[in-house]
Structure 1
Amino acid sequence: MPLTLNELYTQTKHQYHLSMIAGKTGIDHIMNWVYVSEDSSTHDFLKGGELIITTGINYQDETSLYEFIETMIQSHTCGMILNTGKYILSDHITDSIKELCDKHNYPLINMPWEVHIYDITRDYYNRIFMDTQKDTSITDAFLSFIENDSLHHYDALRILEDNHFEKDNCYEITLMKCNKKVISDDLKLRLLFLMESFVKLNDLDIHIAFYKNHFLFVFHDMDEIQIYDEMSSLVSSLKNSFKKLHIYVGIGSSVHMLREIGASYQRSLAALVYAVNKGQEIARFEEMGFFKILHSVNDRNLLVAYHDEYLKDIEEYDQIHDTNYLETLHQYLLCNGSIQHVASNMFCHRNTITYRMRVIEDHWELKLDDTVEKFHLMVAFFIRDYLEVSKF
């Protein structure tokens, strides 16, 4: 879990003589970097979550300081340390500035001039680096189980158990992707910052990583209804920040051992593919019906062969003669043999459907009064749909 400003402030406030001026309610913001800034025009370089440190050399009056802080708030930085005593004096920090910070839950912290910026930034960089290393080691440990890298399972298990992820517990993998073939580093960082902030704000036990151009979420000891609700809320939150971004989520199934999370990952990937191709934001593996069984068939050629055995001849005939027998047959099976319902679904006269069904039975020698034959045909249609939505 990323560091929060609260953690660093609590651990170092006496060492660097820090004191809270305003915006204390935002102290739990995610902090991912330290950025020394004396110029608001550099805000385009900010990704979100930076702790700003400034001497205020360019902001020695109330108006300019107010506007600088306002710009940093709009840039989604996590807070600001004012190095006061030379360029910024206590008189410059007016009630209007404090009200601005309180309104936006933006921590404004005082650090006296005698404290060197070099010392605090070096300390904070080291802490961030150590936290990043820890987060990376947890990610690598989860991936060793997801990728079934048995050579590293012992070390991975030790790392995860040291970070409260017990080997016998409930885990569930969820994957998220957006409508970008390749996610830029800039977009990835911005999205990760928002995701981690969401997780921290809602006090959720989730590990987040970026893996194979997807965002990977490891849910720990959480039921599936809550997972669905939290992912729905997260998607809504991300869409509010990125209006043009289409987001898709695949939710796997729960497993009860760390060694089994590879299965949850594969199922979440299947659900993600299903969501993308169905054009829906979130898909749960457990709600994929017969597709769950098809997903378990490792031999894709076997599925293709089964489909071709029952449907390929009709499909090719339709393509050559510009007819619609295949969809008529599909609707007939879905409507349990009701000609009237098929005609209604296909916007045709019932006599047209009756004629087509006679041709289908005679030309391809199908016995549609045979339950087993209808079952095979229906399975073939399920395979057709599965092969279509499983294209990535």
Structure 2
Amino acid sequence: MSICCQELFALPSLKSLKLIAGKEGLDRNIRWVYAAEVIEDVTELTQWLHGGELVIITGIGIRNKEAVFIELMEKIHEKNLAGLIVCIGPYIEKIPTSVIELANTFNIPLFTLPWEVPLVEVTQDICTYLIHRERQCNEVEQFLQQILFLEGENSKSLKEQAALIGHDFDQSHRVIVIKLDNFASFIKDNQMKESTVIAFKKEFQQIIENFLKDTYKGFSLFVNDAIIMLVNGEIFDKQMLRTTLSLLQEKIQQGIGLTASIGIGTKYNQLSQYRKSMEEARQALKVSNQKNHKNEIIFYEEMGIFSLLGEVENLKVLKKIHKRMLIPLYEYDKINETHLVETLKRFLENSKNMHATAKQLFIHRNTLKYRLEKIEQLTGYALNNQEDCFHFQLAYYIHDFFKE
């Protein structure tokens, strides 16, 4: 787990740190710090950096050479580094305007630090903070693993662990599961190497972590190509939550170029119920995937009968019901260019009211009567039988469940 540039201002040795440019990039993540006291060759300096490093320079080797400064900023952008801290003193008196403009263009945080601040204290503070955050992240992940996947943990023990990581579970919480759409196909189509896939997943997870820091006090866990989030259920109502998660979907698409679907479980008050919320969120995603929907936000509690259909392991059972009840009508409509499937659906939606159905379909009552008799003849089921009508309605739900 990394930290973002915005958090640098809270470190003791960086009280005199000033942001000169790149304000829009303060959410860029710092994975490590690299102090370059002497710069002889910019390309050589950056060739061993992998992305996410915060670079600190004293100016030795650069002095006030504007061209070298610009080259360095371009390399920072090219290598996707976190940002640049420039020590202002005998070698660099001020940062050229062209470099400031470039930092703003690239959204790269550009800071200044007085020469008198010992770099050893700065690097020590940042590295210690990174290690502390990593340890904290591991503790959180272990805690989430326990409450979501392990059985036999008692609530008292879990609450004690929650207190150790600084979180209060007195309020209700819900689980949100986020999964990238068609991620497996994306990997295959782009022939991505394992190292590239890992880096891609880390970027995805970092977007989620930044989102949690900005909007919730919550936790996240990466499991089987999906992000599982545990968040306070009292912060937003459902509409506000939907709006906020839509913004997250936009950030994901802008950040890694893929859409993401989001399943949301019910909020619960007991730690022992969070696993149930997670299963609900997963079920919502399963149904969305079955219907081939993309970039969707699904609340389990709004799924209605689809939550029940999603629980069916053997999908052939559902397809048999659909085939038995509706396929004869589809085939007849196709051959004869009729509208029996739509007629039956409207008839059931209107609670079998003949007048309302005929009016909605713009047909005569006798025409509707003829169609309904034909439906009974083709299917062998009676529309005055409540159980048969239920099976017809179920077949329509199954149709929507599988519909692309």
TM-score by length of 1: 0.75
Q: 1:241 aligns with which of 235, 255, 264?
A: 255
Preserved contact between residue 13 and residue 125 of structure 2 (Cα < 8 Å):
no
Offset at residue 312 of structure 1 (A): 3.9
Give the Cα–Cα distance (whole angstroms) in 2 for the partners of residues 285 and 138 of structure 1. Answer: 25
Which amino acid in structure 2 is aligned with residue 33 of structure 1?
R
Q: 1:361 aligns with which of 376, 393, 396?
A: 376
Could you say if the C-alpha distance between residues 151 and 325 of structure 1 is closer, same or farther in structure 2, counting changes exceeding 3 Å?
same
Give the Cα–Cα distance (whole angstroms) in 1 for the partners of residues 183 and 4 of structure 2. Answer: 32
Give the Cα–Cα distance (whole angstroms) in 2 for the partners of residues 2 and 13 of structure 1. Answer: 19
Alignment map for 1:87-106 (pairs within 5 Å): 89-91=91-93, 93-98=95-100, 101=103, 104=107, 106=109
Gaps of 5+ in 2: 188-196
1:370 matches 2:385: yes
Could you say if the C-alpha distance between residues 170 and 318 of structure 1 is closer, same or farther in structure 2, counting changes exceeding 3 Å?
same
Give the Cα–Cα distance (whole angstroms) in 2 for the partners of residues 361 and 64 of structure 1. Answer: 83
Alignment map for 1:261-300 (pairs within 5 Å): 261-276=274-289, 277-295=292-310, 300=313
Name the counterpart of 1:313. Answer: 324
Tell me the secondary structure at the aligned position of residue 201 of structure 2.
helix
1:206 matches 2:218: yes
Name the counterpart of 1:150. Answer: 152
Offset at residue 282 of structure 1 (A): 1.7
Tell me the secondary structure at the aligned position of residue 52 of structure 1.
strand
Name the counterpart of 1:33. Answer: 31
1:140 matches 2:142: yes
Q: Deviations over 1:67-96 (max 9, x none)?
A: 4225425765433233677xx812363354
Name the counterpart of 1:193. Answer: 206
Which amino acid in structure 1 is aligned with residue 283 of structure 2?
A
Could you say if the C-alpha distance between residues 44 and 365 of structure 1 is closer, same or farther in structure 2, counting changes exceeding 3 Å?
farther
Preserved contact between residue 212 and residue 219 of structure 2 (Cα < 8 Å):
no
Could you say if the C-alpha distance between residues 63 and 316 of structure 1 is closer, same or farther in structure 2, counting changes exceeding 3 Å?
same
Give the Cα–Cα distance (whole angstroms) in 2 for the partners of residues 21 and 292 of structure 1. Answer: 50
1:257 matches 2:255: no
Tell me the secondary structure at the aligned position of residue 11 of structure 2.
helix
Could you say if the C-alpha distance between residues 21 and 151 of structure 1 is closer, same or farther in structure 2, counting changes exceeding 3 Å?
closer
1:228 matches 2:242: yes
Could you say if the C-alpha distance between residues 262 and 46 of structure 1 is closer, same or farther in structure 2, counting changes exceeding 3 Å?
same
Give the Cα–Cα distance (whole angstroms) in 1 for the partners of residues 378 and 27 of structure 2. Answer: 69
Which amino acid in structure 2 is aligned with residue 358 of structure 1?
E
Give the Cα–Cα distance (whole angstroms) in 2 for the partners of residues 250 and 45 of structure 1. Answer: 37
Tell me the secondary structure at the aligned position of residue 13 of structure 1.
helix
Give the Cα–Cα distance (whole angstroms) in 1 for the partners of residues 294 and 368 of structure 2. Answer: 30
Could you say if the C-alpha distance between residues 56 and 380 of structure 1 is closer, same or farther in structure 2, counting changes exceeding 3 Å?
same
Preserved contact between residue 307 and residue 381 of structure 1 (Cα < 8 Å):
no
Could you say if the C-alpha distance between residues 329 and 40 of structure 1 is closer, same or farther in structure 2, counting changes exceeding 3 Å?
farther
1:109 matches 2:116: no
Most deviating of 75-84 and 266-275: 75-84
Q: Deviations over 1:46-67 (max 9, x none)?
A: 444x322345566441222134
Name the counterpart of 1:51. Answer: 54
Give the Cα–Cα distance (whole angstroms) in 2 for the partners of residues 349 and 177 of structure 1. Answer: 49
Most deviating of 91-100 and 260-269: 91-100
Tell me the secondary structure at the aligned position of residue 82 of structure 1.
strand
Preserved contact between residue 56 and residue 87 of structure 2 (Cα < 8 Å):
yes
Name the counterpart of 2:227. Answer: 215
Could you say if the C-alpha distance between residues 77 and 306 of structure 1 is closer, same or farther in structure 2, counting changes exceeding 3 Å?
closer
Offset at residue 163 of structure 1 (A): 2.7
Q: Deviations over 1:170-219 (max 9, x none)?
A: 1111111223444711111222233333443x343232221121122221
Offset at residue 265 of structure 1 (A): 0.9
Preserved contact between residue 84 and residue 110 of structure 1 (Cα < 8 Å):
yes
Which amino acid in structure 1 is aligned with residue 271 of structure 2?
L
Tell me the secondary structure at the aligned position of residue 258 of structure 2.
coil
Which amino acid in structure 2 is aligned with residue 63 of structure 1?
A
Name the counterpart of 2:177. Answer: 175
Give the Cα–Cα distance (whole angstroms) in 2 for the partners of residues 335 and 43 of structure 1. Answer: 69
Could you say if the C-alpha distance between residues 249 and 44 of structure 1 is closer, same or farther in structure 2, counting changes exceeding 3 Å?
farther
Most deviating of 142-151 and 321-330: 321-330
Which amino acid in structure 2 is aligned with residue 374 of structure 1?
C
Give the Cα–Cα distance (whole angstroms) in 2 for the partners of residues 284 and 44 of structure 1. Answer: 45
Could you say if the C-alpha distance between residues 70 and 269 of structure 1 is closer, same or farther in structure 2, counting changes exceeding 3 Å?
same
Preserved contact between residue 30 and residue 197 of structure 1 (Cα < 8 Å):
no
The alignment covers a number of residue pairs equal to 374
Name the counterpart of 1:333. Answer: 348
Q: Deviations over 1:334-383 (max 9, x none)?
A: 46556657968xxx999998666434313443110233431233134324
Preserved contact between residue 13 and residue 122 of structure 2 (Cα < 8 Å):
no
Tell me the secondary structure at the aligned position of residue 267 of structure 2.
coil
Offset at residue 2 of structure 1 (A): 5.2
Alpha-carbon RMSD across the aligned residues, in angstroms, is 4.2
Give the Cα–Cα distance (whole angstroms) in 2 for the partners of residues 332 and 110 of structure 1. Answer: 74
TM-score by length of 2: 0.73
Offset at residue 253 of structure 1 (A): 1.8
Which amino acid in structure 1 is aligned with residue 224 of structure 2?
K
